[in-house]
């Protein structure tokens, strides 16, 4: 059973200070930390489950899961065998650095190559909170509109990579993947783009190669 | 061209007071106001465009559109011929009552049967803000997880109806629509459930009949 930690929303001016401390801790432990952000339902958990399963022989990976309620996602992650801690934010609409710091004693950073932080599903608020991560990765699915990046620009500006998920559904959708990626890169030209399907496996190799190169 | 109003986030303890005033204004004008909430990409705009088009001979309908940025959605709405005002919330992750009050002089309530307020795509924050609406309608799509209602329970508790969209995609998804609706009603047994596809037309008749019965 994944561990559940409940924290109250704590709007801290000190968020950046705590995040800087976390970043030092992560660097010292030699762990690469990715903060995964998206709308609810974009497929963050499915991508993590697939990644943890496919790469388990290559890397040691842990997960911090953020949700308002339930440990459903943490249970899906735990089924892969990866260590996972669930943070329930209750009323809060994002993780903040103090929540991650509170959860950290439950995470054995020693020996991890990667720590994935799955943020609360929300394309707005998590953009404002540094969690000490190496980078944010914004996930969007082919079932959302192509113009999400210009409608929620801050999230795409603060992220370093964009993952377009559920590409297996493209034949059934009126969704222009090229337009969506062009839209994302119009907001932030530095975004590293990925297109993949956890279901068909398409595009996963590029995602895995990129992760491998990020390893400290 | 739809009108664009930019407002700064204004976290008011007075939100409820303004919402009560709006509710009186709406009652006096005889207009039924629905506040549509969902994750980004669940299909609120597509549902509105279809509804406005199909019911234009039966009802007079107007729209207030909320997005952080852009008038993309308002332009899609305006193409139906319905009057629409765009509110750009900039940094704010939800509409509040003062934003609606600011936009109201641009909306000719006189003679409207329905006013639809399309909230910012966010399954968390808009739950806390009364906009003076008759009710909130939460929209979720078949491409999200079935357990969204228990992970974001507040939104499903404060809503009066739940619309499951994109049912045309069900054959291509591992999504149990019965489980999703059962999950929603476990959080709030009073939710009126709809399942529909704007693309195939399935389920729209029930949605339209329900709207017709809400007319003041």
pLDDT digits 0-9 by tens, A91-110: 888 999 999 999 999 999 98
User: CA of B115: how far to CAs of B17, B30, B158, in Å?
Assistant: 20, 10, 19
Query: What is the Cα gyration radius of chain B?
Result: 16
Window B:135-154, CB contacts with A under 8 Å? 140-141, 143-145, 147-148, 150-154
Is residue A39 less than 8 Å (CB to CB) from chain B? yes
Q: Do B121 and A151 touch (CB under 8 A)?
A: yes
Average pLDDT over residues A44-61: 98
Q: What is the pLDDT of residue B90?
A: 85
Beta-carbon separation of B125 and A93 below 8 A: yes
Region A184-199: mean pLDDT is 95
The pLDDT assigned to B8 comes to 40
pLDDT of residue A137: 98
Q: Is 80 exceeded by the pLDDT of residue B22?
A: yes
Q: How would residue B13 be classed by pLDDT, with cut points 50, 70 and 90?
A: low
Residues in A closer than 8 angstroms to B140, CB to CB, are 41
Residue A9 — φ and ψ, nearest 5°?
-60, 135
Q: B3-214: which CATH architecture?
A: 3-Layer(aba) Sandwich (3.40)
pLDDT at B94 over 70: yes
- CB contact, 8 Å: B123 with chain A? yes
Mean pLDDT of B111-118: 96
Q: Which of A72, A152, A168 sits opposite B151 (nearest CB)?
A: A72
To the nearest whole angstrom, how far is the Cα of B122 from the nearest Cα of chain A?
A: 6
What is chain B's mean pLDDT, rounded? Answer: 92
Domain ranges of chain A: 3-7+16-143+203-214
Nearest-neighbour CA in chain A from B30: distance (Å): 32
In total, the C-beta contacts within 8 angstroms joining chain A to chain B are 116
Chain B interface mutation, best of A45, A93, A126, A183, highest count of B Cβ atoms under 10 Å: A93
Enter the ipTM.
0.74
pLDDT (tens digit, 9 = 90+) per residue, A146-158? 999 999 999 999 9
Q: Is the dihedral of CA A70, A72, A73, A78 positive or negative?
A: positive
Query: A168: exposed, middle or buried (C-beta count within 10 Å: 0-12, 13-18, 19+)?
Result: middle
Residue B108 has pLDDT above 60, yes or no: yes
Q: State the residue for tokens 């629905």.
A: B34
In this prediction, what percent of chain B has a pLDDT beyond 70? 94
CB contact under 8 A, A154 and B125: no
Tokens 């011929």 belong to residue: B81
pTM: 0.84
- Cβ within 8 Å, pair A151-B72: yes
Nearest CB among B72, B93, B153 relative to A124 is that of B93
Contacts of B40 in chain A (CB under 8 A): 39, 123, 144-145, 148, 151-152
B4 touches chain A (CB under 8 A): no
How far A72 CA lies from chain B's nearest CA (Å)?
Answer: 8
CA A211 to chain B, closest CA, distance in angstroms equals 25
CA distances from A60 to A54, A56, A201 (A): 12, 7, 21
CB contact under 8 A, B123 and A91: no
| Distance in angstroms between the alpha carbons of the first and the last residue of chain B | 30
Contacts of A37 by beta carbon, 8 Å cutoff, 6+ apart: A44, A119, A122, A123, A126, A127, A136, A137, A138, A139, A155, A159
Tell me the pLDDT tens digit for each residue of A4-46.
555 544 455 589 999 999 999 999 999 999 999 999 999 999 9
CATH 3.40.50.300, domain A3-7+16-143+203-214, yes or no: yes
Instruction: Give chain A's mean pLDDT.
Output: 92
B88 touches chain A (CB under 8 A): no
Q: What is the pLDDT of residue B10?
A: 45
A186 vs B: CB within 8 A? no
Mean pLDDT, residues A132-138: 97
């Amino acid at each position: 059973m994944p561990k559940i930690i409940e924290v109250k929303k704590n709007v801290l001016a000190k968020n950046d200070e705590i995040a800087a401390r976390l970043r030092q801790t992560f660097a010292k432990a030699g762990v690469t930390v990715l903060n995964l952000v998206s709308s609810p339902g974009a497929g963050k958990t499915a991508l993590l489950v697939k990644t943890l399963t496919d790469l388990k022989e290559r890397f040691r990976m842990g997960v911090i899961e953020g949700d308002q309620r339930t440990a459903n996602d943490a249970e899906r992650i735990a089924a892969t065998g990866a260590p996972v801690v669930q943070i329930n934010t209750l009323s809060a609409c994002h993780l903040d650095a103090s929540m991650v710091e509170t959860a950290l004693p439950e995470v054995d950073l020693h020996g991890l190559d990667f720590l994935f932080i799955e943020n609360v599903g929300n394309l707005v608020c998590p953009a404002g909170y540094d969690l000490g991560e190496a980078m944010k990765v914004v996930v969007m699915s082919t079932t959302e509109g192509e113009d999400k990046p210009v409608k929620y620009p801050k999230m795409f500006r603060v992220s370093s990579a964009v993952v377009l998920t559920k590409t297996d559904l493209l034949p059934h959708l009126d969704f222009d993947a090229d337009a969506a990626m062009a839209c994302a890169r119009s907001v932030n030209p530095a975004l590293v783009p990925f297109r993949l399907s956890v279901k068909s496996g398409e595009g996963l190799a590029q995602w895995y190669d990129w992760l491998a190169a990020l390893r400290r």
